[in-house]
Structure 1
Amino acid sequence: MSANRTQPGAKRRKRRPDEAMEEALTAARQLLLAHGPAAVTLANVGREIGMSHTNVIHHFGSAAGLQSALMGSMIRDLTAALDTAVSQLQDDAGAIQPVIERVFAAFDEGGAGQLAAWIALSRDFEHLNPVRQAVLDLVAAVQEKMGDAAAARIRAVVYLIAICAFGDAVIGPPLREMLEQPGETGRALVAQLVPALVMQPG
């Protein structure tokens, strides 16, 4: 069903500016996950939360402003998920599997896969800058946990986890259906590969 045919959202009501912006960003994220980037428009968001097109413009300035705010919100969530993964690695000697689960969840349920695809298609890679330190912290945490493994190999392992989580979130469902694979196939394969890659000699 097209996002332009969604049922009207909440009735129009008064709300504080911060409440209105938070509701708008929540609706925009839901539209992105359900219908893709093209659905994230001022009109669609306004319809979902019972706010006029003019009021949405008032809060975000333009469609580009709304989209940029949504990207920023989702990037913060992804960074928080990576930070949690780092803490988990530091506290739990057997945390590689949970870390893989957390990264896959961030890209799938958290929407980071759709976000990354959107950023790639729009070429707005500067939006990824806030993630940089979280990714480097994750590399450092894996390095500390794995001891003698080479730093370059650890970076490659983190890349493998992230790129597989991204692909699984964006194109995984139809591919799994074609190949008659269960939903956890991607993360299970990565969980099998990572220890072997980290511990291989040379």
Structure 2
Amino acid sequence: MSITKPEKPRRRRRSPEEARREALASARTLLISGGPNAVTLAAVAAEIGVTHANLIHHFGSAAGLQSALMGSMVADLSDALDAAVARLRTDEGAPLELINAVFDAFAAGGAGRLAAWIALSGDLSHLEPVREAVQALVVAIQEKLGLNVDNPDETIGSAVLFIALGAFGDALIGAPLREMLGQSEDASRRVTASLLPAFLAMHPRAD
């Protein structure tokens, strides 16, 4: 009985933009499924059917590929946080809507793993594009809730930190912890949403 080997992706001509886009999509999938160590030139080349030399041409090295992947995923995270800001400014959603927006930003596309990867690499410069999005979220929450506080950045910043840390932790290890504790898939989000009003209630609203 012969064993049929899976076919490798056929090589085809691609424009430089297509090659980079496909390589980054493959690298993202590998990051989500296998972690940072799975993101190698050889693995990506085999996945999309190009040569190792071809990827070297586009990215220079494995570090270049990983850096490009970080940049792409950080841009997606920044866009997701911007969407959360827009939703907060235009909708009358309950706190759970805000929580869902931030949790989705960290969960979708592996942003939680990306943040861990960047933190462990020690090069936090990759997170600079996220800074403006996070600061915009602080301003949007202040505007939405009309809080009258002496230091809104510190007050609302603490709330955003609380939400973001919960979203980050949930994206990384939430699933196995929920299974161990017999909790539902949205348990972390509901707990965070229930605590947020109590946190903000300590500060009076502006008249």
Normalising by structure 1, what TM-score? 0.92
Give the whole-Å Cα distance in 2 for the aligned partners of 1:132 and 1:149.
24
Cα deviation per residue 1:63-100 (whole Å; 9 max; x = unaligned)?
A: 00000000000000000001111111111122532221
Give the whole-Å Cα distance in 1 for the aligned partners of 2:100 and 2:196.
13
Contact 1:85 1:99 in 2 (8 A): yes
Give the whole-Å Cα distance in 2 for the aligned partners of 1:183 and 1:65.
36
Equivalent position of 1:191 in the other structure:
193
Equivalent position of 2:105 in the other structure:
106
Equivalent position of 2:3 in the other structure:
none
Is it true that 1:15 corresponds to 2:17 in the alignment? no
Equivalent position of 1:163 in the other structure:
165
Secondary structure of the structure 2 residue equivalent to 1:80: helix
Question: Following superposition, which runs of at least 4 residues in structure 1 exceed 3 angstroms of deviation?
Answer: none
Specify whether residues 149 and 30 from structure 1 end up closer, same or farther in structure 2 by C-alpha distance, changes over 3 A only.
Answer: farther
Give the whole-Å Cα distance in 1 for the aligned partners of 2:86 and 2:203.
27
Equivalent position of 1:74 in the other structure:
73
Give the whole-Å Cα distance in 2 for the aligned partners of 1:23 and 1:142.
37
Give the whole-Å Cα distance in 2 for the aligned partners of 1:9 and 1:137.
45
Contact 2:28 2:109 in 1 (8 A): no
Is it true that 1:62 corresponds to 2:61 in the alignment? yes
Alignment-mate amino acid for residue 90 of structure 2: D
Using the TM superposition, name which of 23-32 and 173-182 deviates more. 173-182
Give the whole-Å Cα distance in 2 for the aligned partners of 1:8 and 1:91.
50
Instruction: State the superposition RMSD in angstroms.
Output: 1.4
Q: Report how far residue 201 of structure 1 moved.
A: 4.3
Specify whether residues 9 and 107 from structure 1 end up closer, same or farther in structure 2 by C-alpha distance, changes over 3 A only.
Answer: farther
The count of aligned residue pairs is: 196
Using the TM superposition, name which of 28-37 and 175-184 deviates more. 175-184
Secondary structure of the structure 2 residue equivalent to 1:109: helix
Indicate the structure whose relative CO is greater, using CA pairs within 8 Å and at least 6 residues apart: 2
Give the whole-Å Cα distance in 2 for the aligned partners of 1:36 and 1:8.
25
Alignment-mate amino acid for residue 189 of structure 2: R
Identity of aligned residues (%): 56
Secondary structure of the structure 1 residue equivalent to 2:109: coil
Specify whether residues 73 and 170 from structure 1 end up closer, same or farther in structure 2 by C-alpha distance, changes over 3 A only.
Answer: same
Give the whole-Å Cα distance in 1 for the aligned partners of 2:81 and 2:148.
21
Equivalent position of 1:181 in the other structure:
183
5+ residue gaps, structure 1: 1-6
5+ residue gaps, structure 2: 1-5
Contact 2:147 2:203 in 1 (8 A): no
Contact 1:89 1:96 in 2 (8 A): no
Higher Rg of the two aligned structures: 2
Secondary structure of the structure 2 residue equivalent to 1:12: coil
Cα deviation per residue 1:19-46 (whole Å; 9 max; x = unaligned)?
A: 0000000000000000000000000000
Alignment-mate amino acid for residue 192 of structure 1: S
